[in-house]
Amino acid sequence: DTEVTQTPKHLVMGMTNKKSLKCEQHMGHRAMYWYKQKAKKPPELMFVYSYEKLSINESVPSRFSPECPNSSLLNLHLHALQPEDSALYLCASSQESTKQYFGPGTRLTVT
């Protein structure tokens, strides 16, 4: 199984809502990533988990809260988002530096 899955595919939320994005991989990868991608731009790294511990936080606002409950799962909790947070949120995993496997993404719209 060489797949990274993400749910939901689409999410519309208001600025006062709390929601979560989920990512799952069963490849035994030890590194997992959250990226934010705006239209026509490359992905921007948000967080990196290595062996279930947060190893990189790219100065992301606290309204985004990552969680890695186990080696296969990665969540991104969202609270009090702004309209400018609307984007495609991509999850990826990697076992080594030779490849990151990307999920299909969650398209988030904040109203």
Partner 1 sequence: AQSVTQLDSQVPVFEEAPVELRCNYSSSVSVYLFWYVQYPNQGLQLLLKYLSGSTLVESINGFEAEFNKSQTSFHLRKPSVHISDTAEYFCAVSDRMDSNYQLIWGAGTKLIIKP
Listed residue (108, 106, 109) closest to 24, CA to CA: 106
Name residue, tokens 């997992």.
32
Q: Which is nearer to partner 1, 12 or 56 (CB)?
A: 56
CB of 36 to partner 1, least distance (A): 12
Q: Decide whether 17 or 72 has the Cβ nearer to partner 1.
A: 72
- The CB-side HSE value for 70 (13 A sphere, CA atoms) comes to 5
Q: Closest distance between partner 1 and the C-beta of residue 4, in Å?
A: 8
The three-state (H, E, C) secondary structure of 45-70, written as one string: EEEEEECCEEEEECCCCCCEEEEEEE
Interface positions with partner 1 (CB under 8 A): 31, 40-43, 45, 48, 50, 55-56, 88, 90, 92, 94, 96-105
Nearer to partner 1, 79 or 101 (CB): 101
The least distance separating partner 1 from the CB of residue 44, rounded to whole angstroms, comes to 8
CB of 31 to partner 1, least distance (A): 6
Distance CA 30, CA 22 (A): 17
